């Protein structure tokens, strides 16, 4: 039987898998080590999926609660993807805004025009890769000095390999809500909560202050109380920024209507009937 156990223990076993280390230490037969190795791979993959979902929730929460500096742009809404693209290509309100405000408006536009995505598949992947690449490089550097266990890095790297595709699972849930998903494999994965089910994402588009996780929703039980805590201590507002923006938008509309009424030419005085 192959023995992976050495004086350095698990760190010296291939990829640091516990099953090989413990199995060979206990003198288990090869088939039992192979079986426990498969179970361990499954657990690590599931943990990687969970990690990716957790990251999706953190990124989504952070971006939803960042309002930017351009109130006129923030209060502008488009309700179809065609109009979103036209506004971004032609309107000075968007074109002359700061890049960060443009990025935030584009991200928040999903709440008013949820489906399909206004960005290319490449951009959807890059929206996740950009914010998480530095932390992942940091993890890898720390791990290179032997400061992080191999099992933890396996979970992080599995999660970060799957993570960039979280916008696909997100938009697949919107597509399913519109009866546009016919693939039995995808429907199976959604029904078994391996990827995001539309029922688990719907509440986000009603309240905008909860259920931020878009890979499969497994980590919402961590992100939802975290958001409530941050609102409680004053880091985030009590109401979701989207709710505040919609109210501001309605108030601006009301102000505009009142201004138009006040500046409209006075109606003609009733004519004397000549009596």
Task: Give me the residues that bind Zn ion (CB under 5 A), please.
Answer: 64
Residue nearer to Zn ion on the CB measure, 44 or 104 = 104
In whole angstroms, the minimum distance from the beta carbon of 173 to Zn ion comes to: 7
Structure tokens at 32: 């039992």
Structure tokens at 116: 């399909």
Among residues 221, 106, 83, the alpha carbon closest in space to that of 167 is found at 106
Burial letters 155-185, b for 16+ CB under 10 A, else e = bbbbbbebbbbbbbbbbbbbbbbeeebeeee
Residue nearer to Zn ion on the CB measure, 64 or 78 = 64
In whole angstroms, the minimum distance from the beta carbon of 217 to Zn ion comes to: 12
Residue nearer to Zn ion on the CB measure, 10 or 223 = 223
Torsion angle (degrees, nearest 10) of CA 212, 214, 220, 224: 0
Residue nearer to Zn ion on the CB measure, 53 or 64 = 64
CA distance 173 to 166: 11
Residue nearer to Zn ion on the CB measure, 64 or 101 = 64
In whole angstroms, the minimum distance from the beta carbon of 89 to Zn ion comes to: 23
Are 164 and 181 in contact, with CB atoms under 8 Å apart?
no
In whole angstroms, the minimum distance from the beta carbon of 97 to Zn ion comes to: 20
Give the residue closest to Zn ion by C-beta: 64
In whole angstroms, the minimum distance from the beta carbon of 201 to Zn ion comes to: 6
């Amino acid at each position: 039987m192959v023995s992976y156990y050495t004086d350095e223990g698990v760190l010296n076993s291939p990829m640091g898998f516990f099953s090989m280390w413990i199995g060979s230490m206990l003198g288990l037969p090869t088939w039992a080590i192979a079986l426990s190795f498969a179970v361990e791979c499954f657990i690590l993959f599931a943990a990687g999926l969970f990690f990716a979902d957790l990251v999706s929730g953190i990124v989504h929460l952070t971006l939803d609660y960042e309002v930017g500096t351009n109130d006129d742009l923030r209060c502008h809404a488009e309700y179809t993807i065609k109009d979103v693209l036209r506004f971004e290509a032609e309107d000075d309100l968007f074109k002359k805004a700061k890049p960060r405000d443009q990025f935030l408006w584009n991200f928040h536009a999903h709440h008013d025009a949820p489906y399909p995505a206004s960005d290319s598949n490449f951009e959807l992947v890059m929206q996740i890769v950009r914010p998480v690449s530095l932390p992942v490089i940091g993890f890898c550097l720390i791990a290179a000095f032997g400061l992080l266990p191999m099992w933890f890095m396996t979970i992080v790297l599995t999660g970060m390999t799957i993570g960039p595709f979280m916008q696909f699972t997100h938009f697949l849930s919107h597509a399913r809500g519109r009866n546009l998903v016919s693939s039995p494999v995808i429907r199976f994965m959604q029904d078994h909560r391996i990827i995001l089910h539309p029922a688990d994402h719907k509440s986000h588009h009603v309240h905008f202050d909860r259920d931020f996780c878009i890979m499969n929703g497994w980590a919402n039980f961590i992100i939802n109380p975290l958001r409530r805590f941050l609102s409680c201590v004053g880091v985030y507002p009590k109401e979701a920024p989207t709710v505040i923006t919609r109210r501001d938008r309605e108030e601006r509309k009301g102000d505009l209507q009142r201004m138009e009424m006040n500046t409209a030419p006075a109606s003609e005085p009733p004519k004397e009937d000549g009596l």
